[in-house]
Amino acid sequence: MSTATYTVKGMTCGHCVSSVKEEVGEVAGVTSVEVDLASGLLTVTGDGPIDEAGIAAAVGEAGYEMAGRS
């Protein structure tokens, strides 16, 4: 099991958080997604190595930008 934390830019409300959680949760291997609106932190847990490109693509699909790993 592995965990990675990223910073997401552009989230302003609870709907933003839900969108990011839904999209990232669909990435293969992801078992848990936590999003903190106040800090913009996205914490992803997976049953194997985290696919950072897949996470970034999912964040983009939700309409936001992944600013990097925290």
Q: CATH assignment of 2-69?
A: 3.30.70.100
Q: Residue 69: its pLDDT value, please?
A: 85
Cα(26)–Cα(38) distance, integer angstroms: 23
Q: Residue 2: its pLDDT value, please?
A: 96
Yes or no: say if 59 and 4 are a contact pair by the CB < 8 Å rule. no
Q: What is the tens place of the pLDDT at every residue in 4-62?
A: 999 999 999 999 999 999 999 999 999 999 999 999 999 999 999 999 999 999 999 99
Yes or no: say if 4 and 47 are a contact pair by the CB < 8 Å rule. no
- pTM confidence score: 0.93
Question: Does 68 have pLDDT greater than 90?
Answer: no
Where do the structural domains in the chain lie, given as residue ranges? 2-69
